[in-house]
Copies of this chain bind each other. A is one copy, B any other.
Amino acid sequence: MRALVYKGPQDVRVEEVPDARIEEPTDALVRMTSSGICGSDLHMYEGRTAVKPGTVLGHEPMGVVLDVGPAVRLVKKGDRVVIPFNIPCGSCLNCIRGFTSGCLTTNPANAGAAYGYAQMGPHRGAQAELLRVPYADLACLKLPGKPGDGMEDDFLLLSDVFPTGFHATELAMVQPGSTVAIFGAGPVGLLAAHSAALRGAAEIYVVDKSGARLSLAKRQGAIPIDFTKGDPAEQIVELRRKNKELQQALRPGEEKMPGVMCAIDAVGYQAFGRDGEKAEPSRVLMDIAKVINATGTVGLIGVYTHNDPGAKDAAERKGEIALPIGELWSKGVTIGMGQTPVKSYHYQLRDLIMAKKARPGAIVSHRISLEDAPKLYKEFDKRDKVTKAIVRFV
């Protein structure tokens, strides 16, 4: 089969590799109809992870079931399915508690497995014609309709980016009426904004430097903040201070809560400084510490790694960076972080798409063939016009 293979930094190619196939009785074999290219793939593409050359990339699979192993009971040939990027067994200590992102048995090296990703186990990626899906009964979410129909993009995003944006709003405890600041308007940041809107947030701010991405955020109902035009925390506070209604409604003391109650870091360790160009890994966390109100809640969904070959010094290489813990502690914030347990949200988000209440596909900017994927990686890496790209096989 054809598959996109990581060869080294800035070098991915489409090559012939052995066909995926059923290997265990609990497997399914799925023919891809769509396969996403994720912002987190860029960490590997840029050589900022421990991924090994030769790895087939891709962890956003969707397709049609070709075959199932003898122990598969809930999935059958012909089913249209979307599959989480993480690979859980469903039976270990972590899976039982809902932490399918920390499965103890599907990755020999660590807690947590995924398709085609650095340090996430030996599983081949989904940017390929075929995919072997372990524990298929648990993994496969069934979809209505037909491959390539009008819902193809919306449903594909159930594999990773939509649940991940949603998980960010869980970590940040977004409630009806919340004020939310989201740093980063890549695919995850945009779908965090979409998720915050679905949960009834009252005010949503999205911070980025890309005009293209900020205007997409605006279409999601968010207020765009260009961080190259000044301290984003101050911009948000200033906008709120200029809102006459908000000011009229303040009681004494409430001016001590000038920022937001919920903040989301959808950037991670590859953050830029104010100039939008120089790497500054603690920039977003510094800004969040400033804009978050006392008692606020923070979700870190952008990746921080403890194994970054491209970091500028030994501490950063291990993921040790300076953080404003004094300010965070004084404010009494709560911080959640880490990868998304996709299965925790899979049904409810699909049902929102089916009910036409969620439209994650609105962020997709590029649909390409597998053969064009290497070119797309290069373009996506500019982190501007490509808001979300999907390899389409139909």
Task: Tell me the A residues contacting B by CB distance below 8 Å.
Answer: 24-26, 69-71, 73-75, 89-99, 101-105, 110-112, 135, 137-138, 142-145, 166, 175-179, 195, 198-200, 202-203, 244-254, 256-257, 269, 285, 294-295, 300, 303-308, 315, 318-339, 343-344, 346-352, 354-355, 357
Contacts and interface: CB of A to CB of B under 8 A. Distances in A.
Contact of A339 (B96, B145, B332): B332
A371 to B, nearest CB: 32
Given A110-B256, A200-B200, 9 more contacts: A94-B257, A96-B346, A112-B332, A177-B348, A177-B351, A178-B348, A202-B352, A300-B325, A306-B327
10 contacts: A25-B70, A105-B252, A199-B200, A202-B348, A202-B352, A304-B328, A320-B325, A321-B326, A323-B325, A333-B337
B253 A92 contact: yes
B329 A322 contact: no
Contacts of A322: 315, 320-323
Contacts of A257: 93-94, 104, 111
The 8 closest A-B CB pairs, nearest first, are A319-B326, A332-B338, A177-B348, A104-B253, A306-B326, A144-B248, A304-B329, A91-B137
Contact of A351 (B95, B202, B334): B202
Number of copies: 4
A90 B324 contact: no
Contacts of A336: 334-335
A142 B344 CA distance: 26
A230 to B, nearest CB: 21
A321 B319 contact: no
Given A89-B137, A331-B338, A354 B175 contact: no
A358 B305 CA distance: 40
Contacts of A249: 142-144, 350, 354
B337 A328 contact: yes
Contacts of A315: 322
A324 B337 contact: no
* Most chain B CB atoms below 10 A, which of A195, A319, A339: A319
Nearest to A119: B330
* Most chain B CB atoms below 10 A, which of A105, A253, A257: A253
